[in-house]
Amino acid sequence: MELSDQERASRLSALNALMDLMRPSVQADGGDLVLIRCDVETGVVEVQLQGACSSCAISTDTIQGGVTRILMDRLAWVSEVIGGVDETMDPEDSSLLGTGAYVPRYRSL
């Protein structure tokens, strides 16, 4: 089924609104939730956790149990959510961004 430009715009708008609804919860713990890409035709959405989430022990649970569940429950057209964590931030800097579930990564010497 070919989507009209209006339907594509409507889907993207609904996705952005839902992302904006979820972001404050992640930001409260010093992280952020970012939309990396979205294919409104196939329903594949890619998101990334950033900031303090890069060192959080439950970041995978946040993606799978929270973000994926919410997107798929509220947007019937979403078929898959690909989630990742931005691990480029230094763990020390990351820990300063928030306190929610922060667990430093073990580094071997």
State the pLDDT confidence band at 103, using cuts at 50, 70 and 90.
very low
What pLDDT is attached to residue 91?
56
Total count of domains within the chain: 1
pLDDT tens, position by position, 12-60 = 999 999 999 999 988 888 888 899 999 999 999 999 988 877 667 777 7
Across 2-6, 18-22, 36-40, 98-102, least confident range = 98-102
Domain that holds residue 24: 5-89
Name residue 65's amino acid: G
| Pairing assessment for the beta strands 44-51 and 80-85 based on DSSP bridges | parallel
User: Residue 37 falls within a domain, yes or no?
Assistant: yes
User: Residue 104 falls within a domain, yes or no?
Assistant: no
Which CATH number do you get for residue 54?
Answer: 3.30.300.130
Q: What is the DSSP letter of 57?
A: T
* Count of alpha carbons within 13 angstroms of residue 45, beta-carbon side: 29
> Cα angle at 43 between 46 and 80, to 5 degrees?
55
User: Residue 85 falls within a domain, yes or no?
Assistant: yes
User: Residue 66 falls within a domain, yes or no?
Assistant: yes
Question: What is the model's pTM?
Answer: 0.75
User: Residue 105 falls within a domain, yes or no?
Assistant: no
Q: What are the b/e assignments for 57-71, b being 16+ CB within 10 Å? A: eebeebbeebbbebb
pLDDT tens, position by position, 66-89 = 899 999 999 999 999 998 887 776
